[in-house]
Amino acid sequence: MKKAINWKFTIVLLLIGFMIAVQYNTMEHPKERDTRDIWAIRQELAEEKKIHSELLTEIRDLDRTISSYRTLSESSTGQALRDTVDKLHKKAGTTDISGPGFTIEVRPSVESIAYGIPITSISSDLLTRFVNEVNRFKGIHMEIDGKRLTMMSSIRVINGVTTVNGLNVSTPPFTIKIISPTMSDSEKLYNYLLASSIHDDFYLDNLVLEINQPEKDVTVRGYPDKFKNVYLKELPKGE
């Protein structure tokens, strides 16, 4: 009889000990909680919706292109393909383009001139940050000191000098040109850059940004070199 009572007592103690251990482990290692406020979550949701909208727009454009190919006669197919190639060249940045936009003058600060502080080439980190600020807006075409910025462009330091596409960026002053899809987009980007903290970063490097008012007709140059075709191959005629 006493053995049975001892076994029951032992089992109860084991159960109590197991429950205490589980509770202690839960208190020591709680599940991670999302501590962001509602506005941070709403902002992330808005960004995801924007990306979703852009993807839908691209899909609709591709669907329209496919539909146009299907409805064209054989004599018109060649022209349609040429139009598509021209559109891709424009999107890749290999052609000159004009549209609504504005220019920015990168100049030495007044204080650096007054105190005779020597101005060197703009740092690659600062120029990259500026490009990232502008690229918050979609459909942007940019030219930095006469050098077209594309998806294949690189900003790096070569022999102590900042370069774009392997070409030296002039010691300030130099000009940056930006084109947006519409005049309204240019005005939004213009106002955004006016209020951006990027001005403080330039000022720390003894530089200032003089942002000119948006204009209806700004021209940026095309990327001068041809892109190398690595993956696509032309099929023989008749295949």
What mean pLDDT comes out for the span 125-151? 90
Domains of the chain: total:
2
Half-sphere CA count of 214, side-chain side, radius 13 A:
20
Same domain flag for 205 and 187? yes
Residue 173 belongs to a domain: yes
CATH of residue 106's domain is: 3.30.70.1880
Phi-psi region of 207 (alpha: psi -120 to 50; beta: other; left: phi over 0): beta
Element (H, E) at 127: helix 124-134
| Lowest mean per-residue pLDDT among 41-45, 111-115, 166-170, 197-201 | 41-45
Instruction: Say how far apart CA 175 and CA 151 lie, in whole Å.
Output: 20
Q: Are residues 134 and 147 both part of a single domain? A: yes
User: Could you tell me if residue 10 is inside a domain?
Assistant: no
Section 188-216 average pLDDT: 94
Q: Is residue 16 part of a domain?
A: no
Same domain membership, residue 136 and residue 60: no
More confident residue, 161 or 68: 161
Section 27-48 average pLDDT: 68
Answer yes or no: do 181 and 163 share one domain: yes
Residue 231 resides in a domain:
no
- Taking the C-alpha atoms of residue 129 and residue 198, their distance in angstroms, rounded to an integer, is 8
Say what the pLDDT of residue 2 is.
Answer: 47
- Does 135 fall in a domain? yes
Q: Percent of the chain having pLDDT more than 90?
A: 36
Check whether residue 61 and residue 132 sit in a common domain.
no
149 and 65 in one domain? no
pLDDT at 100 over 50: yes
148 and 176 Cβ atoms separated by less than 8 Å:
no
pLDDT in tens, 51-62: 777 777 778 777
State both tokens at 232.
């696509």
The pLDDT of residue 49 is above 90: no
**79 and 130 in one domain?**
no
Residue with the bigger pLDDT between 55 and 200: it is 200
Range of the domain at 185: 97-220
Cβ atoms of residues 192 and 137 within 8 Å: yes
> How far apart are the C-alpha atoms of 134 and 136, rounded to whole Å?
5
Distances (CA, A) of 99 to 156, 159, 177: 28, 35, 11
- 73 and 171, same domain (yes or no): no
Closest CA to 124 of 146, 152, 153: 153
Considering the domain architecture, whether residues 74 and 88 belong to the same structural domain is answered as yes
Do both 124 and 206 map to the same domain? yes
Higher pLDDT, 235 or 135: 135
Same domain for 214 and 155: yes
Q: Does residue 131 sit in the same domain as residue 87? A: no
Confidence of residue 35 (pLDDT cuts 50, 70, 90): low
Query: 100 and 215 in contact (C-beta within 8 Å)?
Result: yes
Q: How far apart are CA 144 and CA 177, in angstroms?
A: 7
Q: What is the residue whose two structure tokens read 């998806």?
A: 151
pLDDT at 41: 77
127: Cα within 13 Å, side-chain hemisphere? 27
